[in-house]
A and B are shown apart, each in its own frame.
Chain A
Amino acid sequence: MFIWLLIMNFSSLCSALLLLFRLAMMSKLELKEDKMLEVQFVGDDDVLNHILDREGGAKLKKERAQLLVNTKKIIKKPEYDLEEDDQEVLKDQNYVEVLGQDIQESLKNGSAADGGNKVYSFQNRKHSEKMAKLASELAKTPRKNVSVNLKNDPEIMINIPQCSKGHSASDKVQVKNNDKSEFLSTAPSGIRKRLIVPRSHSDSESEYSASNSEDDEGVAQEYEEDTNEVILSQKIPSQNRVVSAPVCKGTPSKKMKRDKTSDLVEEYFEAHSSSKVLTSDRTLQKLKRAKLDQQTLRNLLSKVSPSFSAELKQLNQQYEQLFHKWMLQLRLGFNIVLFGLGSKRDLLERFRTTVLQDSIHVVINGFFPGISVKSILNSITEEVLDHMGTFRSVLDQLDWIVNKFKEDSSLELFLLIHNLDSQMLRGDKSQQIIGQLSSLRNIYLIASIDHLNAPLMWDHAKQSLYNWLWYETTTYSPYTEETSYENSLLVKQSGSLPLSSLTHVLRSLTPNARGIFRLLIKYQLDNQDNPSYIGLSFQDFYQQCREAFLVNSDLTLRAQLTEFRDHKLIRTKKGTDGVEYLLIPVDNGTLTDFLEKEEEES
């Protein structure tokens, strides 16, 4: 045990932890004869397995079988201890067989090999250019399928020294990423990898931050580094031979498993270890077609002919057949939640028009940015129940509604909520209130969720309020309506709106005021490459304005600035020296456009 502690001294804390895991596994195997120790380590081991399995959710069955065999092997010996644990202790295998089957089935066609792994595994650190590479691969062979991870022969890894430059490096990365590194060498890959981490990290900062660098030099460096690694990694096994040899001999399958577990853990830390992210520095501004507003976007998209319309139609028909069943289940006290990829708005809309025409119903667009529980309750009290009073609080209102519905059992209300998991509704309180509404016998709720973590909104209490029945409705339809509101889109759209508002506001100003603003814009644009630019100080600004004959006293400038501030055209910030700095909170691209437009007009 002493040696191990030494090793721990020069590794970082987290990798030391990993090492400990690994060591625990190894020494467990090594000391198989020694019963006392073995028992002690089985604990760790099992814990790790459990963690993994929980995360893995549904692993490949075969893998699990292996695992079970292994644990059995270990457990079998002390079996005659007659422990008092009843077999209520939950059997994982059992669980997966019963509840995980569906998952396995669904993954069977496609990502069969390690489905569960794929979904829940940690991510590998990827080469920064991998995306482009993958894209070109996908593009190169149209119609034909390209395997995402090039399955290179593991040989390559060992052959690195002979390989040609550029490729070997990236190949190696891929092989490493391939999760198949278990096969590669007898060396505990964990240790080898850990050695790589800090190195590649520090190197990459220098080479990669400006990414996009296709210069051979970087690659060559990397290549050298790789060979280094190989050498290092070959050294280490020789040191560890005592340990690693029995591991390989004894239970190869187990070792594989172990490697996998530690790989996953290590990969996670690897990916999170570097604070610097390796991406290229290109920005959308340099691309000319960066800006599209909502309208043009729609126009453009309308020109795209949807593919697979026949199949989509078929899917939708399949779901439409469920309408009556949904109605039945809603009426019998269940509530229905729809999930799956694609907008479910149209589907629910069709549901509404086909079966809900004759009953009172409320459609709630959760994706609407201004939605709130209050507005939902208001529309129920005011429009459904025709109540004109006001309420002290939301809870009061809820109580009132609940009482009303309990009193009058002939009252029936259907709630259709698109995107129950939207920003505005996902809060705990909102969910509680909607849940309480839905638990009423004569309020029927059918909702859709899209966010990948949506089910986390509900704890057991809420789930029992909702009494959900889950229906998978994957439609692949575009989320047109859901993403159409300004805030749900990325930067590209936000450019157009400020621009138009800028011009509108400035048009209403005096020429002098416009001049003042233009001065500020120009100054900001001049400084756009200065990363430490925090704004133009008031004094400097005043000086400049005076020189341009725009103001005659600092009072007039202040008055002008107040007006700008009211229109949210500028922002003031106190610097570290206590001086006020002025800044236009609009991105530089928009400002450039604005200046160009101004010049055109004048």
Chain B
Amino acid sequence: MQEWANQLCENRQFGSKMTDSKYFTTTKKGEIFELKAELNSDKKEKKKEAVKKVIASMTVGKDVSALFPDVVNCMQTDNLELKKLVYLYLMNYAKSQPDMAIMAVNTFVKDCEDLNPLIRALAVRTMGCIRVDKITEYLCEPLRKCLKDEDPYVRKTAAVCVAKLHDINAQLVEDQGFLDTLKDLISDSNPMVVANAVAALSEIAESHPNSNLLDLNPQTINKLLTALNECTEWGQIFILDCLANYSPRDDRESQSICERVTPRLSHANSAVVLSAVKVLMKFMEMLPKDLDYYGTLLKKLAPPLVTLLSAEPELQYVALRNINLIVQRRPEILKHEMKVFFVKYNDPIYVKLEKLDIMIRLASQANIAQVLAELKEYATEVDVDFVRKAVRAIGRCAIKVEQSAERCVSTLLDLIQTKVNYVVQEAIVVIKDIFRKYPNKYESVIATLCEHLESLDEPEARAAMIWIVGEYAERIDNADELLESFLEGFHDESTQVQLQLLTAIVKLFLKKPTETQELVQQVLSLATQDSDNPDLRDRGYIYWRLLSTDPVAAKEVVLAEKPLISEETDLIEPTLLEELICHIGTLASVYHKPPSAFVEGSRGVQHKRLTSSAGSGESVESPDTGSAAVSEAPPTVIPSQGDLLGDLLNLDLTPPTSTGPPPAAAPGMQLGAMDLLGGGLDSLMGDESEPPPIPLRTDTPQSPQPPHQSPSPPDYSPTELGGDIGGSPAMGAGFGAPPAAMPASFNAPISGGLDDLFDLGGGGGMTMGTYIPPKTVWLPAMKAKGLEISGTFVRRSGVIQMEMTLNNKAMSVMSDFAIQFNRNSFGLAPAGPLQILTPISPNQSIEAALPLSTVGPVMKMEPLNNLQVAVKNNIDVFYFSCQYPISMLFLEDGKMERQVFLATWKDIPNENESQFQIKDCHLNSDAASNKLQGSNIFTIAKRTVEGQDMLYQSMKLTNGIWVLAELRVQAGNPNYT
């Protein structure tokens, strides 16, 4: 051993030839013992060599923890190399020997005071890595000093050390006030200190999602942007990633940040570029689309993304996964860059597959010829997965670009002729989809497909082929023979094939009943009697019963027209996509999964969303808007009648807790204010790309309508309702006979409507006119393949109108809109077709007004003012239901003659009468009557009894029903009959 060490020293002297590798080869017995002796040697050089051997053993996974005291003894040295080695050892084993580790503390503390900044930093860096509670206690003081060290190198190391300490003992960090010191470092003069402080704070903030730790405000943002220009490439990444979490106040601020971030797109480091892209993609949401700068920014994004593709393959892969997201969110950025995604012969397979994905996404009528030529080349490659994907891509092109369908089909046929087994199978699977997209167009190729029947051995391909045979049984002469051939090995087939075969034979039977009776019986008995698969058995029984009871019905069911398949397949769901856009560059964007799917514990699990303009989502939360958080509640479910009543009764007793206003004297007022901020702004921002949060209303039954128009008079509160307004005979028969009694259920909508009207009445400076509830989202984009509809009902000069904002959040253009109503209580029906002349392109929104008539078919709805609507576009038909304010049904000629009023008032049977109270309404009678008149509620007479104003009012509904009311105005206690 001595000899060997000498030799080593010699080698050292000769310089270049080193022999560290020898450490890896010592595998003698009693090694530990020998090492121990060497570690305690007097000779420095020998000591160092021994420590090196220890580290080498540690690396290969040998347990050398027994040497702990001996190694720690070597720590007291002025040889930096040796010191570093000992520290490395300590970091590995301190946890297993906590008591011994204490021995090292003194040295650490001493080193933190060393004159050499490199040693100070080394000590504080290493101490943070030793996860022993007792040591962390001693760490605090040195760390505090180092955070304020005069040398930036020490400060930047100390900044990271705070994050380390927080990972070990979060409470300690908070108690010691390190977080504030760390925050101060954001203003440090040295850019690297700033960058590390940002990184540390971001990490700490992630484990405290609700803390205001990273208090990003325009001042700090400005500091970060300044540091961005000066710090290392890595620091730039930390800062950009942190910036991405900031929500600018307005579009001007986001533009100015974007302007300062764009130069980063020319950085040589791809990660800097991607993080800059993330910031830009996020902040771009906030810029108005008509802004010149918006267009400039879009143009600036393409070249750096393309440049990423000339990076090393691993980075290309990361870039491609991200481009896949970017293309889905903003296809316009890269639409002209198709060529760069063409696959190169020697690309690694993971790059090839990703490029192929993006090619399909970018395929359009303009470039389809090129794309198809490429895909055809790929289909002759070697890698099976790649070839399959290429074949599948050809099919997807056919479905996506109608003009190319014919060429795609012929390309697929060419490929089938190659007779390469997996190519044929893949081609058949996609041809099935093409048949479904373009029925009755390409069936001529069926004959060619049938030739390859025997070569199919994969379940998916077999199932596809069987589907084709069944679907087009009438055109294939020997369909029965073909299917029979499959039937022979029925039990060996996979479930997919079995199910398909069953259906296909039933289809065949329905088309050619005479020749195939035997076959169908055979398959039914195979499926029902000889199979243990419940799915198969059930389907078999259903067919059997259908066929035996009603063959006509069976035909209707089995041979029903199939809905067309959609153009874009495997798009990422929009909300997930939004979240992933916020994670550009990170693992989440590589996996296409939210961080919560692969990160353990609470860290990094909080969901990020794109914020569009002010007024939605996070920005509402900022304290200066003075409102409580409006949670992003899902679109409220329309409560049933029973719940409505329940809600009504509960109102006063249980102020809503979910949205959080204090139960003060006027709970509704506060809610109203909040709704105004939430709902009101939302409807103003009709074109934003995120579904506006729908405030959950609990104070009125019409939850989707935020009814309060103005929060200004503090003493005003919405109506409280307490009973029936009056029974009525069947609604359908409702004509003339005043005062027609109302069914009990009428209560809810009408009271809601009145509630709304009164709110209007409360609005101090409001102009007179019909009350228009703000728009609410009726059809969220998620439920309707990207189409979002929000709207409201208005009565304008005697015509009821449905005003809608249609917002396209999907990737493709929407056109061919049409609308239909289900039968409803008041016979509402569109008076004309829906006037949407131009197709709505992605992210565009359009206002549409639909005049309504009340002469449609009538059916009583629950609740009464419920309206079920179907909207159709080129993609699909969507259904939703909404509720209209009853007040829009009040006619202009609802003013009853005084005499008639008196007469009818007296005739109202008692059971048709109802009373309820509107509390806390400090409005004098005249004002109230004026307000109400704006909504076609007419005051017939007024009298004063015992200091109370009595208003007698009438209104007429579109179906001719009259409603009479008595409004008793007495401070705080108006009474309605």
**Is the pairing of A and B real?**
no
